[in-house]
């Protein structure tokens, strides 16, 4: 990178920190910190939602999918569109009213409302652990991009630098800083991809005829995907729209139900087709560049991590000045997700865990200070966790799966099934989440592997266990109540 690129990048990072410091002066209470005073409009929230959901993990991860499977990788974010629109119709009408009426800050407070404090505490622990992993995945995405594009910067130092920037402005500025920076970051990312990344990469590899002759035909087909890949993505991604702490915070932050629903429809359209196709197309162009030998002398393409193809492509083809702008675009995506996930984990720990055990009554100023300290601490731990992982998309989807398998069934039961009860919710959360984590950690063979070309996602088994447990225990305790036992 040239000095001009470094200067552009540094100015951008300083601007993000400046937003955090600006809202540090504006925040007067934990309500300001966690739900932006409950007065945000649909466009700010909608752009923040899609920036958070797509963000760096999916931006870098989509590039990896485009590199390995072509435009069919875009189907992964089609599940995001479905999830966004389903939750706008089924979830928001119920949750928005409750959130404003009871002044909720977090997702697990819904469990306290419908079930009890014990269930809410477990939900808070599961959500906090999941978002800690998700924050780490975003920090890792940023570090991969930085280490591939900034000469002399190794992955470990990149983790420290990128993590520190995201953690500092989030821990001081709160959700309003996150939402406003998300809006800025998403606009920068879209502009960077549309006007810089895709056109220059397309010309650099030689245009459509070269792309078509270089890649296998399946790269240009939307059918290069298996039914079980779509099933795995659907079961992992669609439910997150019903249990994501970052999303509940934004529902509470909207000034009305109407604004929240509009925001979710906006977010869905930006996810698919807009971001989905831009991400995989850049990954495909990176594949073409690798086959053409543009990466020779930079990396060994036979052993290269597919997620590194896109960052290396950008660092190879972009001229002075544009490299700095494009790098800022991708860091925008990464930071927009990292900051939101950090806020989610912090909200869970402060509101759903610490507040449950503390017997003291704190002033609004003191609670704000505690929230900032906890956010900073979680961010530092997320950086350490990221240093132990290698694959962004894998870490991100594991975090998703852990939360979904434990939380999805109980929240749907609370909203739509009259037989649901606290004991059924508690054990379905515990057994569902535990099943998924055990299968992931032990890397055990899953049932039916002999009949399938690839493994089914562990989350499918976790959510199935959760569902069966919830139904059986709900019916059991419902009968006991009806019989006066």
| Residue 38 near residue 189 (C-beta atoms within 8 A) | no
Question: Which pLDDT score, from 0 to 100, does residue 75 have?
Answer: 94
Neighbours of 390 (CB within 10 A): 12
**CA atoms lying within 13 Å on the CB side of residue 368:** 20
Structural domain contains residue 402: no
Question: Which pLDDT score, from 0 to 100, does residue 452 have?
Answer: 39
Structural domain contains residue 171: yes
Structural domain contains residue 418: no
| Neighbouring-strand partners of residue 40 | 254
At 249, which CATH number?
Answer: 1.20.1730.10
What separation in angstroms does the CA of 291 have from each of 201, 213, 224, 297?
Answer: 14, 11, 20, 13
Which class for 119: exposed (0-12), middle (13-18), buried (19 or more C-beta within 10 A)? buried
- The two tokens of residue 361 are 């009554």
Number of independent structural domains in the chain: 1
pLDDT tens per residue across span 212-228? 999 999 999 999 998 88
Cβ-based neighbours of 388, under 8 Å, separated by 6 or more: none
Domain span at 62? 3-388
Tell me if residue 457 falls in helix, strand or coil: coil
Question: Which pLDDT score, from 0 to 100, does residue 444 have?
Answer: 57
Structural domain contains residue 103: yes
Structural domain contains residue 85: yes
Structural domain contains residue 76: yes
| Residue 42 near residue 262 (C-beta atoms within 8 A) | yes
425: left (phi over 0), alpha (psi -120 to 50) or beta: alpha
| Residue 280 near residue 65 (C-beta atoms within 8 A) | yes
| Residue 160 near residue 11 (C-beta atoms within 8 A) | no
What separation in angstroms does the CA of 138 have from each of 310, 418, 479?
Answer: 16, 39, 46
Structural domain contains residue 324: yes
106: left (phi over 0), alpha (psi -120 to 50) or beta: beta
**What phi and psi, each to the nearest 5 degrees, are found at residue 16?**
-65, -40
Question: Which pLDDT score, from 0 to 100, does residue 375 have?
Answer: 84
Choose among 340, 447, 479, 371: nearest CA to 48: 340
Whether the predicted model's global pTM rises above the 0.75 cut: yes
Structural domain contains residue 61: yes
Tens-binned pLDDT, residue by residue, of the chain (485 aa): 678 888 887 887 788 778 777 776 676 666 777 777 788 889 889 988 887 777 655 567 788 899 999 999 999 999 999 999 999 999 999 999 999 999 998 899 999 999 999 999 999 888 888 888 878 877 777 777 777 777 777 778 888 887 787 777 677 767 777 777 777 777 877 787 788 889 999 999 999 999 999 999 999 999 999 888 899 889 888 998 999 888 998 999 999 999 999 999 999 998 899 889 988 999 999 999 999 988 887 777 777 878 778 878 887 888 887 777 777 766 766 776 777 788 888 888 888 888 777 767 777 777 778 888 888 888 888 888 777 766 655 666 677 777 889 999 999 999 999 889 999 999 999 999 888 888 877 775 555 544 434 567 888 899 999 999 999 999 998 776 665 55
């Amino acid at each position: 990178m040239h000095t001009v690129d470094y200067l552009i990048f540094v100015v951008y990072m300083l601007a993000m920190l400046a937003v955090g410091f600006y809202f540090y002066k504006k925040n007067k209470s934990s309500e300001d910190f966690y739900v932006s005073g409950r007065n945000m409009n649909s466009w700010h929230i909608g752009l923040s939602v899609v920036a958070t959901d797509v963000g760096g993990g999916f931006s870098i991860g989509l590039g990896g999918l485009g590199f390995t499977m072509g435009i069919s990788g875009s189907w992964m974010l089609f599940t995001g569109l479905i999830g966004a629109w389903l939750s706008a119709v089924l979830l928001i009408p119920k949750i928005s009213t409750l959130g404003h009426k009871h002044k909720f800050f977090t997702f697990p407070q819904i469990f306290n409302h419908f079930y009890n404090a014990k269930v809410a505490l477990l939900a808070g622990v599961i959500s906090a652990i999941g978002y800690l992993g998700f924050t780490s995945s975003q920090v890792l995405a940023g570090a991969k991009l930085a280490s591939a594009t900034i000469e002399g910067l190794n992955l470990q130092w990149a983790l420290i630098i990128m993590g520190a920037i995201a953690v500092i402005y989030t821990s001081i500025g709160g959700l309003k800083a996150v939402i406003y920076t998300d809006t800025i970051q998403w606009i920068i990312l879209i502009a960077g991809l549309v006007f810089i990344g895709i056109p220059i990469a397309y010309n650099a590899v030689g245009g459509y005829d070269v792309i078509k002759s270089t890649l296998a035909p399946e790269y240009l087909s939307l059918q290069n995907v298996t039914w079980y890949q779509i099933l795995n993505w659907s079961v992992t991604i669609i439910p997150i729209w019903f249990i994501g702490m970052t999303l509940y915070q934004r529902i509470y932050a909207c000034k009305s139900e109407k604004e929240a629903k509009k925001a979710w429809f906006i977010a869905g359209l930006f996810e698919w087709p807009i971001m989905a196709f831009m991400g995989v197309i850049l990954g495909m162009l990176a594949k073409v560049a690798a086959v053409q030998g543009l990466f020779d002398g930079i990396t060994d393409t036979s052993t290269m991590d597919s997620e590194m193809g896109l960052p290396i492509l950008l660092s190879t083809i972009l001229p002075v000045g544009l490299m700095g702008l494009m790098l800022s675009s991708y860091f925008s995506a990464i930071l927009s997700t990292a900051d939101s996930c950090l806020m989610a984990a912090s909200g869970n720990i402060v509101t759903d865990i610490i507040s449950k055990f503390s017997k003291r009554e704190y002033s609004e100023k003191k609670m704000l200070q505690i929230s900032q300290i906890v956010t900073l601490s979680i961010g530092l731990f997320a950086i350490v966790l990221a240093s132990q992982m290698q694959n962004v998309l894998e870490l991100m989807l594991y975090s998703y799966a852990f939360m979904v398998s434990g939380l999805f069934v109980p929240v749907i039961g609370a909203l739509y099934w009259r037989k649901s009860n606290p004991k059924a919710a508690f054990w379905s959360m515990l057994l569902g989440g535990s099943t998924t984590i055990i299968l992931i950690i032990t890397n055990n063979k899953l049932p039916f592997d002999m009949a399938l070309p690839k493994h089914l996602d562990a989350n499918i088994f976790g959510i199935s266990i959760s569902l069966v447990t919830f139904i059986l225990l709900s019916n059991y305790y419902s009968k006991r109540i009806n019989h006066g036992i």
